[in-house]
Structure 1
Amino acid sequence: MYPIKTPSDARLLRPSALPRHDRGGGACTTSLVSPALGATTFISGITEFDPGTAIPFHSHNCEESVVLLEGDAVMDIDGLEYRLQPLDTTFIPPNVVHRFRNLSATQPMKILWTYASPDATRTLRDTGETRPVALEHANR
């Protein structure tokens, strides 16, 4: 059963054995490190994007880092587009509007994300709606 708990209270997580949460619009997230495991200063997970999927423009109340694991991606930020290669890593300060897009029409894209707070929120630019990231990713 996963995650595996070690004698020191560390955890081993195998994403393939963890539940996936359909976020709608072609994105699916697997929560990794969360308060449920005892995390107190950050959360992380993996989001997969179907071909052609773009998540809406949004911002967070804390720092975020994203690593492109697989696929052909673009990060839209500050009115510019940045083409990403696998293992490219981003650092996004709090309250900076951005989004990620899968450019491929045939292949999925996968990112590893980390938020610098277990209380991270996502605010959608177009609607102003704010909700906890943990709730979106079934991190309860």
Structure 2
Amino acid sequence: MTILPPQPNLLITPAAVEPFDRGNGVVTIPYVGKWNCAINRVTTGQTQFEVGTGLPLHSHNVEETVLILEGLATAQIGDDHFDLVAGQATWVPAGVPHRFFNRGDGIMRIYWVYGGRDVTRTITATGETFEHLSEHDKGGQSNP
């Protein structure tokens, strides 16, 4: 089987989007390429975690796929905890509480893809729901 590379107009290229500082050493960089239109219905980007940081337990209204680009991630998906290293990926169904945090000794970077464009985040502890990457969507944690 031969796998052809994507056409140049399908490559993911970061747009002129400012990094989204979540606080406490967690920064998200949303990617928007010209391929990412209403028809494709996908939201994608990258998040970098300093040592000992993560996001609070939360869920989304759409499914999410996460690929570890660098470092060691400890994932909590529902009640399960497991480690992922660079090159490994996992999937989170819509509505399932989850979080990823950096338990390694260096930077951790993840690449994420949501199966939708109108993504919301619900914080498990408070039940608050807000638009993904909105002003309310902050909240990096140290030592989660």
TM range (shorter): 0.7 to 0.9
The equivalent of 1:3 in structure 2 is none
Give, in angstroms, the shift of residue 33 of structure 1.
Answer: 2.7
Counterpart in the other structure of 1:113: 112
Structure 2 unaligned residues grouped into runs of 5+ = 1-6, 138-144
Residues 102, 16 of structure 1: CA spacing in aligned structure 2 closer, same or farther, 3 A cutoff? farther
Decide whether the 8 Å contact of 2:13 with 2:33 is kept in 1.
Answer: no
Structure 1 regions of 5+ residues with no counterpart? 1-7
What is the identity, as a one-letter code, of the residue corresponding to 1:62?
A: V
Hey, what does 2:125 align to over in structure 1? Answer: 126
What does 1:1-140 align with in structure 2 at a 5 Å threshold? 10=9, 13-15=12-14, 19-33=18-32, 38-40=37-39, 41-104=41-104, 106-135=105-134
Matched letter for residue 123 of structure 1: T
User: Does the Cα contact within 8 Å between 1:118 and 1:134 map onto a contact in 2?
Assistant: no
Equivalent pair of 1:119/1:132 in contact (CA under 8 Å):
yes
Instruction: Identify if the C-alpha distance between structure 1 residues 34 and 12 changes in structure 2 by more than 3 Å, giving closer, same or farther.
Output: closer
CA drift at 1:11: 6.2
TM-score, structure 1 as length reference = 0.79
Q: Which has the higher helix share?
A: 1
Could you list the runs of 4 or more consecutive aligned residues of structure 1 that deviate by over 4 angstroms after TM superposition? 11-18
Q: Which deviates further from its counterpart, 10-19 or 21-30?
A: 10-19
Q: Which residue of 1 aligns with 2:141?
A: none
